[in-house]
Amino acid sequence: MRYAIEVHDLTKYYGDHLAVDHISFDVRQGEIYGFLGPNGAGKSTTQRMLTTLLEPTSGQILIHEHDLARDAYPAKRIMGLVPEESNIYTELTAWDNLIFTAQLYRVPVNQRTARASELLETFGLWENRAVKVENYSKGMRRRLSIAMAIIHQPSLLFLDEPVPGLDAQSARAIREMIRQLNADGTTVFLTTHDIEEANQLCNRVAILNHGKIAAIDTPERLKATFRRVQSVEVALDPEGQMQKDALGALSGVTQLIKAGDKWRLYTEDPSSLVPQIVHYAEENNLRVLHLNTLGPSLEDVFLEITGQEIGSVHHENGEQKMRRGKMRGRK
Amino acid sequence: MNMSINWKRLMDELAQVWTVAVKDIRVYYLQPPMIMFGLALPFFLFFSFSIKRNIGAESGIAQLLAMTTFFMASSAGPVVIPLERRMGTYDRLLAAPMSLASLLIAQTLVGAFFALVTSVVPLLVGVLCLHVAIADTPLLFAGLLLASLAFSTFGLVFGSIPVQSVGSIMMPSTLIRWPLLFISGIFIPLGDMAPWARVLSYLSPLTYAQDVIKTAVSGAGYLNRWLDLGLLLVLLIVFLIPAARLHHRSRVLGY
């Protein structure tokens, strides 16, 4: 087995605060590896250590068998990095940004312009190549940021939260780009708290919680491990809050949440719960509009592992993001 | 084999120094506010320190050249690096396959280049308008070049402090640069100073710059010209050490 990344006993302290706690994992060449975790779990800290931007307190990182502590240079040549916030020189045009990056990564002179043109075409930025980036939308900046990260054709690409904050069209285009890059042979290390994104894209995911790896496996195997978070989804007519206590009291229900006009009843044994729900509906003259048994989603697995309440996973709002930025700035 | 790899690496590093320097010039220096600042500062300094003072044209131009070089070269680092850190673009440079030394050298060269270009303005005014005759032109260029490089690395030390805000750097950098100006022999010639004040003046890198520039312009410096040049060269290298250490500290702290 050939590995793109091998991490052994990696630890990071910020003063007395243990941000990453003796984690070990490996990423195989050619896979899309998802690095999941709630805010503050240590995802970005780990990624910054893997990309040489942050010095580990202890532990070893090998990138394509190159030890970062000994000589990061050969590893840096084969890595591309797309950070959470697009770090582009906004005073320059897209073209100038790409050429600057190509020069920085020593892309041969005779290939620079051809590669920059090809990427601008691929990423739908050709028409705006001469426009200063300060006039670009967030989605355009994100696409340019990815183009800049791959202009030297890295064999390992780090992506930190590539999609949040983008419109649906841009998000889909970026997911497709990630799949295409991977199909072309690039190993992708995807840091995200978007569980569905990881579910759709990743061959394997690692779930990080409180600086420790809580689980590593394929999304499907992780889901299979957590049978107790299976659920039954039901929509009753007429719907009402008065059903809450009755449904919650049914035998085997571990948790009940309202999801739109439906109730989701978590249980280890959906097959014994379904007849109880039907019986309850008949007794109370309710129509069953929708009844479905659901296996555990990756989100359920994530919530189980990280100890968060079901229904609490959501995208960060602006205030949370700003607070997290301040925390990182203080470290 | 190793030799050829190292040679290629060296060539790559030199090319990357050039790439970063050109980018800095385009992004930060060839902007209208910076150009206006660069053209105006020497004249503000000149009027601030020459009005109602009986100084000759040679001394005035020498002082002005030294002050311009000092302020322009040492202003770059404290602004560019924290700004890039805040924008996240500094990560792009740090993650690139180039050494920290190359990055620091690139930023040093840019600051020095800006100071040298700016110092042309007072020099032209002195030569063309005030008819100042330069006593030793090669020495003047050598002095300006070394002073610009040394002051640029001096500014780099402040820029390397692990913060993301330009304001957090400007305060300490201003608090240190102005006292260094006052003790440097710009306003009171080294020969006229009390012995204790002269000892104090030797702590300021500006002392050696203004002395060698004065020697070059008027032929009448206080210290040996080679001592001035040698110390500026030493300071240029010495200032890179804390800059590199502070960068390492930033990598530990996560800035």
Domain ranges of chain A: 3-223, 227-295
Rounded distance, CA A67 to CA A73, Å? 10
CA B67 to chain centre: 10
Residue B29 per-residue DSSP state? I
Q: Quote the minimal CA–CA distance from B20 to chain A in Å.
A: 8
- What does the pLDDT look like over A89-134, one tens digit per residue? 999 999 999 999 999 999 999 999 999 999 999 888 999 999 999 9
Q: Nearest-CA neighbor of A125 among A145, A109, A110? A: A145
DSSP letter assigned to residue B126: I
Could you list the beta-strand ranges (E) of A141-261. 156-160, 187-192, 204-209, 212-217, 230-237, 253-259
Number of A/B CB contacts below 8 angstroms equals: 75
Q: A103 to chain B: which residues are within 8 Å by CB?
A: 15-16, 19
CB–CB of A91 and B95 under 8 A?
no
The contact set of B with A (CB < 8 A) is 9, 12, 15-16, 19-20, 23, 26-27, 31, 87-89, 91-99, 164, 248, 251-255
Q: Considering chain A, what percentage of its residues have pLDDT values greater than 70?
A: 91
Asked if domains A3-223 and A227-295 share a fold, the reply is no
Chain B contact for A191, CB < 8 A?
no
Q: What is the pLDDT of residue A317?
A: 38
The helix/strand/coil state of B250 is helix
pTM: 0.81
Q: Give B-chain residues touching A51 at CB under 8 angstroms.
A: 95
Taking the C-alpha atoms of residue B180 and residue B196, their distance in angstroms, rounded to an integer, is 15
**Residue A315: its pLDDT value, please?**
37
**Contact by Cβ (8 Å): B190, B201:** yes
Q: Is the peptide bond before B97 cis (omega within 30 degrees of 0)?
A: no
Instruction: Look up the domain containing B44 and give its range.
Output: 2-253
Does residue B136 sit in helix, strand or coil? coil
Compute the distance between CA of residue B30 and CA of residue B23 in angstroms, rounded to an integer: 10
pLDDT at A261: 86
Summarised one tens digit per residue, pLDDT across range A38-62 is 888 899 999 999 999 999 999 999 9
Residue A320 has pLDDT above 50, yes or no: no
CB contact under 8 A, A54 and B251: yes
Which residues in chain B come in under a pLDDT of 70? 1-5, 42, 46, 49-54
Residue A97's nearest CA partner among A134, A138, A55 is: A134
pLDDT at residue A319, rounded to an integer: 37
CB atoms within 10 A of CB B48: 9
Distance between CA B109 and CA B24 in Å, rounded? 10
> Locate tokens 């990756």: which residue?
A298
**A323 band by pLDDT with thresholds 50, 70 and 90:** very low
- As beta bridge partners, residue A159 has A82, A190
Task: Give the other-Cβ count within 10 Å of A327's Cβ.
Answer: 12
A252: left (phi over 0), alpha (psi -120 to 50) or beta: left
**Best to test chain B binding among A106, A112, A158, A330 (most B CBs inside 10 Å):** A106
* Lowest mean pLDDT, pick from A234-243, A301-310, B55-64, B233-242: A301-310
Contacts of A15 in chain B (CB under 8 A): none
Mean pLDDT computed over every residue of chain A: 86
List, in sequence order, every residue forming a beta bridge with A266; answer none if it has no partner.
Answer: A231, A255
From the list A45, A81, A85, the residue facing B95 with the nearest CB is: A81
Strand-pair partners of A192: A36
Q: How confident is the model at residue A321 (pLDDT cuts 50, 70, 90)?
A: very low
Find tokens 């084999």 and name the residue.
B1
Write the pLDDT tens digit of every residue in A21-34. Answer: 999 999 999 999 99
A58 touches chain B (CB under 8 A): no
Give the ranges where chain B is alpha helix by DSSP (H). 2-24, 32-50, 57-87, 89-95, 100-124, 137-159, 166-182, 195-201, 205-218, 225-253
| Residue A330 pLDDT | 38
Tokens of B159: 């820029």
> Each residue of B132-167: b (16+ CB within 10 Å) or e?
bebbbeebbebbbbbbbbbbbbbbbbbbbbbbbebe
* C-beta neighbour count of B189 within 10 angstroms: 15
Pick from B250, B216, B83: nearest CA to B145: B216
> Is-contact B155 B77, C-beta < 8 A?
yes
Q: Name the band, by pLDDT with cuts 50, 70 and 90, for residue A304.
A: confident
Q: Which numeric CATH code is attached to A227-295? A: 3.30.70.980
Average pLDDT of the segment spanning A303-313: 61
**Beta strands at A3-14 and A17-28: parallel, antiparallel or unpaired:** antiparallel
Count: domains in chain B: 1
Tell me what pLDDT residue B94 has.
Answer: 94
In this prediction, residue A316 carries a pLDDT of: 39
Q: Which residue has the higher pLDDT, A195 or A320?
A: A195
Token pair belonging to A313: 């996973």
pLDDT value at residue A63: 96
CATH of segment(s) A3-223: 3.40.50.300
